[in-house]
Amino acid sequence: MLAVIGHYISGRLNTVVEMASLLCKTVSTTWSEWGCGSRVVRDVIGRQVLFTGVEAIKIITVTSMILGVATIVELITEVPRVSGESYIGPVLVAVVVRELGPLLTAFIVIGRSGTAIATELGNMIVNHEVEAVDAMGIDPLRFIVLPRLIGVTSATVGLGLLFVVVALLGGWLFARFLIYYPFIAYLADLRESLGPWDVALCFIKCASFGIIIAVICCYRGFSVKLSSHEVPQVTIKAVVGCIYACFLVNIIITGFFYL
Amino acid sequence: MNNLLCLKNVSFSYDRPILESVNFELPAGKVIAITGKADSGKSVFLRVAAGILSPDEGDLILFGKNFWELGRPEMMRLKMRTAFFFQEGALLANTNVFDNLALPLRYHFALDQKKVESKVGFVLERLGMLKYSKQLPASLSLQLKRRVALARVLLAESSKIYFWDEPEVMEEEMREIVAETIKEAKAKGIPSLITGNGAWTKGLSDGGRDVF
């Protein structure tokens, strides 16, 4: 029994080490191959930001608006029952800015872009495209992984900040049709509770989640060996792995913040 | 003899051993055919020799350097001096034919659009592929994909070693271009490594070598 658990844990740790190695090798191509194919790599980064970031604006806006409305209505309705009006702002900031905003953004990015990356890279392995890129003397880490790392991370940060803004402002915009909460009072509550550290925490979480999503999905995509039937399997592993990792990193960062 | 490529005690396996303690040398100006029955590991041998697959054991000495002990940038620089023909085509699926061929020119040499169009257009016209230049690989037949793969090799003008994975499967017209390329390279002292079992492949080579 212990041997089985030990084997399981060492297997997982091995995977984490390999993913960390992929991240380090990819980042190192930034300076070790400085200038190589810069224009080409920038084009791929641009396409990735467009797909992960720009094309997700609609779903982020809708999701954040719904979350904002629900959170504001619940707070305004329930908190006064326990005479906690002064906690509305802090709870709103804690829930939307520090926790759910970054996490829900990450889940949307995982669902849209994470799956696409793992599937695309898996198919590239099966069709020998990565071998062809490598044979041309183009480092696959620089040409394939690095643009996705930069693109997904920057898009996740941008989307996370958009999520927070739309949830807080857009949420009030629709919530006022359901409850009475003057905008002046709402802004005052927010201004009192929202500090630079809250925004920094949101930024740090979104950036961390973006890096995690890109690395795990690229790693899983590249783990396809020979057959196309492995592609959906590695995509599922990528999604599940990203979700677990984002939750874990979220707790760790939150823990550091409150220590 | 000046060996541009050496394999020393190279072993490679997937779920079963494919290459076991293989020793091999490729001198300058030689054309060597790698023969063997189907699924004997010819393509794997070629990929290990080209530095695409990393062996489980042994060394690849490419242009006098122990390839797998180099840093990644230097590995990539050595690979730029080789050209590999993939029998499956191995084209980037989300990129049209023109951009597939233009990629190494833009990446390594940062050529402007005019020069890229000139070089790629010339090769595409030679292979009768100009009208397909804006199409994605998925809309091409396998033989057309192989033509694009051949175009990729022809565009690698600075190659010092050619790796040909089963070029005999191509149409006769394309095989003639392959043969011409190999002979021209040989005259310049540039060696080629070809896999295949047919008379055409054996006719091109200076000597065959079974993988096993």
- Is B210:B37 a contact under the CB 8 Å cutoff? no
Of B47, B91, B107, the CB nearest to A40: B107
B14: chain A residues, CB-CB within 8 Å: 225-226
Chain A nearest-CA distance from B200, in A, is 25
d(CA A90, CA A185): 14
Q: Which amino acid is at A154?
A: S
Nearest CB to B79; choose among A40, A129, A135: A135
CA dist B1 and A198 (Å) reads 69
Q: For each of chain A's 259 residues, which pLDDT tens digit applies? A: 889 999 989 998 999 999 999 999 999 998 887 777 888 999 999 999 999 999 999 999 999 999 998 988 888 888 777 777 777 788 888 899 999 999 999 999 999 999 999 999 999 999 999 999 999 999 999 999 999 999 999 999 999 999 999 999 888 887 777 777 888 888 888 888 888 999 999 999 999 999 999 999 999 999 998 789 999 999 999 999 999 999 999 999 999 987 7
Which of A36, A129, A137 shows the shortest C-beta gap to B92? Answer: A129
Distances (CA, A) of A163 to A178, B176, B177: 21, 60, 57
Q: Do A127 and B90 touch (CB under 8 A)?
A: yes
DSSP H helices in B31-93? 42-49, 72-79
Backbone torsions φ then ψ of B26, nearest 5 degrees: -120, 105
* Residue to test with chain A: of B72, B155, B159, most A Cβ within 10 A: B72
The nearest CA of chain B is from the CA of A39 a distance in Å of: 7
Q: Say if B107 is an interface residue toward chain A (CB within 8 Å).
A: yes
Whether A48 has its CB under 8 Å from any CB of chain B: the answer is no
Please judge whether B107 and A226 are an interchain contact, meaning their C-beta atoms are less than 8 angstroms apart.
no
Say what the ipTM of the complex is. 0.92
